[in-house]
A and B are shown apart, each in its own frame.
Chain A
Amino acid sequence: MEAKTMKERIKNLFLNETLALTILSIIMGLLVGAVVIYISGYRPLEAYRLMLDGIFSRPKYLAWTVIRSTPLILTGLSVAFAFRTGLFNIGVEGQFIIGALAATLLGYFLKLPAILHVPVVFFGGAIAAGLWGAIAGFLKSKFGVHEVIATIMLNWMALYLSNFAVEQEAFKRKGTESSHDIHETAKIGMDWLKESLGAATKVNWGIVIAIIMTALIAYLLFKTTVGYELRAVGFNKDAAQYGGINVKRSIVLSMAIAGALGGAAGALHVMGVSYHVSILAAMEGYGFNGIAVSLIGNNTPFGVILSALLFGGLTYGGSKMQLIGVPTEVINIVIGSIIFFIATNRIFRYVLKCLDRKKLQKGVQ
């Protein structure tokens, strides 16, 4: 009896197989990182302790981890949403840039009371990026251009467009490589928290907005007709078409929503953290990291939140490893390994099966 309940308990724990495999992958990824750290002559335990301290030891650090995670929730959500509807949104990088640019333009050139300015800037950024994303959807549905190619090209166009805008005299702050800051009325800082965390810690409402958006997307995807249609197209385009769903419209709509989410990430980043946009020499990686976040979160809205927090923690806390000289790039190795193990989770399944078989044989004897 005793053994059975124990077994049942373990079974329950592993009932959610995906979750178990994800956690196992994260542990394995950290192990690979530890090996890399060890081989290059540092002490892995000390490095990881520094990382954990860098996340949890002070409220300020925890706040920064959340601040870093906020845009990743939305870019991850954007990728996850597109995946669910059968599209691969590599373009979230560019959508982020467009969202940030539009938000900064509206935040600087408009003068409104905060109660209007904040929503105008936020939705302005999201809508601009939504239209930008819809271009890729339109090109796919009308001309058959693969969305991966279209969004890659659009990423670079977005980057240069943003740089071009920052170059303009009316927008550029003299003596810098950046635009002017947005007005105070467009910022979303949690000033009452800044008193206890220090003024330099840019705590803001972004995380709350990001979580609300995640809930809305989950509702849209799984509880509405539109969401059902979008997912149906993702499952099987031809069947959806046969079933009377307008596939072409669905593709455009899906890319527009994914784009708007990427743009919302950019807008929130400007409103809460950076306050301006700068001339970029290369992609910043919010979008590409969003792809990783989405994959680690198993392309589910709730999973994306957790995985964005993990990602934010790894990158923010991981930078503290530099204190003992460990190059921070080890974090990218850890993240890459986690994704690699998630991709190859058959390894674990295989091992588990072997263990099971052995157990069974023992039981028979």
Chain B
Amino acid sequence: MLKDLAFILGTTLMYATPLIYASLGAVFSENSGVANIGIEGMMTVGAFSAAASAFILSDVYGILWWVPWVAFIIGGLAGGFFGLLHAVASVSFHADQVVSGIAINFLAPGLSLFLSRRLFEGATMTPAIPLNAKLPRPLNGVIENSILDTIFNQYASVYIAFLLVLLSWYVLYKTKLGLRIRAVGEHPKAADTLGINVYKIRYFSVILSGILAGLGGASLSMAIVASFRPTLISGQGFIALAAMIFGKWKPQGAMGACLLFGATTGIQIYLGSPQVGLNISANLLSMIPYVITLVVLMGFVGKAVAPAADGIPYEKGER
């Protein structure tokens, strides 16, 4: 029983991780007043870039300790590049942020698959990363043969995700920068009057949001699995967005929502595993996370309020 619980907790952490990165990204972008529906595409390009670089780097330099880390960061930067694109459209050119985000959702996966075909002889799936070029498991072998091992023997990306939640909370609520981000998202005009550069803060937040989403994608393709394929992300960016809204635009709230979603996925996998021996269709079990999320959301009537200026382009000097 304890073992089963540990298994569920372990899978919870594993599946919540990519969502946590991406939803933190969404938190930053939306708190600064820029809706970012392009998270999905940014995750995809991050997952691809990381997996492709990990494979190529380990091919060229051999499997060295820094290879997974450099690839992980490249994944983040690739996401950040599309964050920049989104910022150019939605901050500088006052684009409709939903439209720009959808453009990103076509551009980023399109470019990923295009490059994949060019680099890997027409394949849309990148070759598998060598086992040792995946992100490391820092606690591997430290706590062997205990249920703690089942829960906590995770890839490094998992721990980093939780550290980032703490860091994001600190930055948003305890620093001048965070205050500025929230001010710009709540009332850009007032912030502007006080000498805050609205455009600069929004650029920073949206690019950061892309980097985080890219890392989220990378944490999938370099830890949970060891390659990129077209269906890898399939909707997780949108689920991260949902987690951000569910978490009331706060890092800690988004983390909670991601953990809830991860837990439902963990329960689903547990119920579907052969040792449980339930004779339920895998397809019905697969619905569990979505049904539970909807039911939980129904219990939170009208409590979620977005930053006041979320989704509205800011134009200097406009009345």
Give the interface of A toward B (CB within 8 A): 36, 40, 88, 90, 139, 143-146, 148-150, 152-157, 160-161, 163-164, 167, 281-283, 288, 291-292, 295, 327, 329-333, 335-337, 339-340, 342-344, 346-347
Contact = CB atoms under 8 A, between A and B. Distances in A.
Contact of A283 (B108, B234, B291, B294): B234
A327 B122 contact: yes
A167 B105 CA distance: 32
A90 B105 CA distance: 13
B245 interface: yes
A330 B297 CA distance: 38
28 contacts: A36-B114, A90-B238, A143-B297, A146-B304, A148-B241, A148-B242, A149-B245, A150-B297, A152-B235, A152-B241, A153-B291, A155-B235, A156-B287, A164-B284, A283-B234, A288-B105, A295-B99, A327-B117, A330-B110, A332-B114, A333-B110, A333-B114, A339-B99, A340-B85, A343-B93, A343-B99, A343-B100, A344-B88
B106 A335 contact: yes
Contacts of B98: 88
Interface string B46-82: 0000000000000000000000000000000000000
Given A143-B301, A153-B290, A282-B231, A167 B283 contact: yes
A263 B106 CA distance: 23
Contacts of B89: 340, 343-344
B290 A156 contact: yes
A153 B293 contact: yes
A331 B109 CA distance: 11
B287 A157 contact: yes
Interface in B261-302: 281, 283-284, 286-287, 290-291, 293-294, 297-298, 300-302
Contact of B239 (A139, A145, A152, A327): A152
A36 B88 CA distance: 20
B308 interface: no
A149 B117 contact: no
B43 interface: no
A330 B246 CA distance: 35
B246 to A, nearest CB: 7
Contacts of B110: 329-333, 335-336
B107 A152 contact: no
Nearest to B40: A288
A332 to B, nearest CB: 3
- The secondary-structure label for the interface of chain B is helix
Contacts of A160: 283-284, 286-287
Contacts of B94: 346
Contacts of B143: none
A337 B107 contact: yes
Interface centre among A36, A139, A157, by most chain B C-beta atoms within 10 angstroms, is A157
Contact of A153 (B95, B107, B286, B294): B294
A41 B273 CA distance: 48
B99 A164 contact: no
B104 interface: yes
Given A152-B235, A156-B235, A167 B281 contact: yes
B249 to A, nearest CB: 12
Given A146-B245, A291-B102, 20 more contacts: A40-B118, A88-B98, A143-B298, A144-B300, A148-B241, A148-B242, A148-B245, A149-B245, A153-B293, A156-B235, A160-B286, A161-B287, A332-B110, A333-B110, A335-B110, A336-B107, A339-B106, A340-B103, A342-B103, A344-B89
A336 B106 contact: yes
A329 B117 contact: yes
B107 A333 contact: yes
Contacts of A332: 106-107, 109-110, 113-114
A335 B304 CA distance: 34
A344 B113 contact: no
Nearest to A88: B98
Contacts of A155: 235
B111 interface: yes
B91 to A, nearest CB: 11
A201 B319 CA distance: 57
A332 B103 CA distance: 10
Given A153-B290, A291-B102, A333-B110, A163 B283 contact: yes
A315 B94 CA distance: 30
Nearest to A346: B93
B96 interface: yes
B281 A164 contact: yes
Contacts of B111: 329, 333
B114 A327 contact: yes
A343 B37 CA distance: 14
Nearest to A337: B107
A145 to B, nearest CB: 5
A145 B294 contact: yes
B209 to A, nearest CB: 17
Nearest to B108: A336
A327 B118 contact: yes
B242 A144 contact: no
